[in-house]
Amino acid sequence: MLLGFIQIAIVLAILVAITPLLGGYMARVFLGQRTFLDPVMGPLERLIYALSGLRHQSPMTVWQYIRAVIFSNLIMGAFVFLILMFQGILPLNPTGLNAPSWDLALHTAISFVTNTNQQHYSGETTYSYFSQMLALGFLMFTSAGTGIAVAIAFIRGLTGRDLGNFYVDLTQSITRILLPISLIGAVVLLAAGIPETLAGPVTAITLDDTTQYIAIGPVAHFEIIKELGENGGGFFGINSAHPFENPNNFTNLLETVIMMAIPASLIYTYGIIAGNTKQAWLLFWMVFVIFAALITVAAIGEYQGNPIVNSILDTNAPNLEGKEVRFGAFLTALWAVATTGTMCGAVNGMHDSLMPNGGMATMFNMFLQIVWGGQGTGTAYLFIFLILTVFLTGLMVGRTPEFLGRKIEKREIVLASVILLVHPIMILIPGAIVIAFPDTLSGITNPGFHGYSQVIYEYASAAANNGSGFEGLGDGTLWWNLSTSVALLAGRYLPLIALLLLADGMAHKQPVPETTGTLRTDTGLFTGITAGVILILGALTFLPVFALGPIAEAFLIARIASGVA
């Protein structure tokens, strides 16, 4: 047990160490300051701007920024949908795969363009190399870049600046951040044993003289942007539990850290742009403490194992169901909390096999969306909670609600409420419909409380743009493809529009001079209150879900185990 927590501590220590480095670098990129990549990426960006006819120095109004996000994403999604539907006649298809059903192709295109990568398919048996590389891989860069761009525009608005230009922000997110790290990371993963080839499946003769086909492919470059961009979509069906995506403890360490790097560092980026790194570090440590607590809850549950099994076998073994033995209980629990906290969605073990502790921790992450949150948008959600806390505490102590010298008024609270309410609506309403028609819609494979969790998890994953799942669920149907597509779109774009409108409203407010009556937001006390508001809102909104799902399942397991003993 001690060794397991030491492994977790090493990962967390690396995360803390790289946060100011990467966060500071991203701040310099988006503040227009000189960076070491200027000689290489500067000419490339100017070429991109020239070819696209972009007036790259022109800041956009809020509605221009919103339209640029929506229209560009719509065009990219339609482009990828067509590639998927015509993959049977396109090149780089060594196994001769035909096009998927229209509803699966639509769900896949929407899932990847929204940075969710929720997969109702197995990659090696559904999509060709062409589809995986040039369609899905393309969206892994652009969807992650879109999230970073929106986060930076939001931060600019909060600090009184123009929102900027979406196309410039998207271009720099890719050329200055995602692409350089991905190039280096792909080489490292290739050296660590992950394949990168266009050859077809390998044929092997087993010991009992039967033929086995082993899928390979251009995996290394796909894997690094999968984690770095918080995409999560696996080249293979079992994702990062597959030895060709995650072969050893080194790759597991690298992939765990890389999926958390950008969302954690963006908090520090905010601190530099806002000129208040003290507040950034306070927020960072607040999220870090919640994150560490959830890891502890999940890890202890997996280490203690299933009491029913342990009672029958008269042992105290950890829960190894659905896990790769090369990672074990602790590293699987760490990954599960990290991937749902960052909205990455990649898995190195099956979440459907987690004990109720782990299932509750992973769902709690997706309900809150700020530990560490989605690519870029998680940072923005964190400040939505901060704005709500300013408003609530200001009312309680009789001070004018202000944030960064700008008043928080009705419009900001309405937009913040929209951002926070879209999420539970997209989870609870379709979840209730499915539970009402379990025989025709649900696809539940586990009876009782765990089956309920399977359904809620799927919609939470879609609405939070996470993409992981309780994979026992039979989700490859018309209902699941279309209903989760609605949750994917609403969970991505409605909050995104509200975030930009809120930021634009803050940018156009007249700054208010700080006085003795100003409520300071860069203190430990205020940060603690913010944590309380986050946890209370999350608990009040989703407590019935927990009570009917993982909490009830935990009590049921304990009761059965006591009867067996």
Q: Where are the domains of the chain?
A: 37-274
User: pTM, whole model, 2 decimals?
Assistant: 0.95
C-beta of residue 425 within 8 angstroms of C-beta of residue 462: no
| Closest by Cα among 132, 153, 161 to 68 | 153
DSSP 240: G
The predicted structure's pLDDT at residue 517: 66
CA dist 190 and 193 (Å) reads: 5
C-beta of residue 182 within 8 angstroms of C-beta of residue 148: no
The predicted structure's pLDDT at residue 399: 72
CA dist 467 and 488 (Å) reads: 9
The predicted structure's pLDDT at residue 354: 94
- Other Cβ atoms closer than 10 A to 539: 13
Residue in the block written with tokens 């993959």 = 87
Contacts of residue 408, defined as CB under 8 A and 6 or more positions apart, other chains included, come to 387, 390, 391, 394, 401, 402
CA dist 341 and 357 (Å) reads: 15
The predicted structure's pLDDT at residue 374: 84
Assign 3-class secondary structure to 86-134: CHHHCCCCCCCCCCCCHHHHHHHHHHHHCCCCCCCCCHHHHCCHHHHHH
Cα–Cα–Cα angle for 306, 312, 315, rounded to 5 degrees: 65
- Across the chain, which has 565 residues, the per-10-residue mean pLDDT values are 86 96 96 92 90 78 96 96 96 94 97 95 94 95 96 94 93 96 96 94 88 93 95 93 95 96 95 93 96 95 90 86 92 96 93 94 93 86 91 78 84 92 94 87 84 94 93 89 96 95 91 73 89 86 91 92 71
The predicted structure's pLDDT at residue 55: 65
| Closest by Cα among 501, 464, 543 to 230 | 464
Largest CA distance in the chain: 82
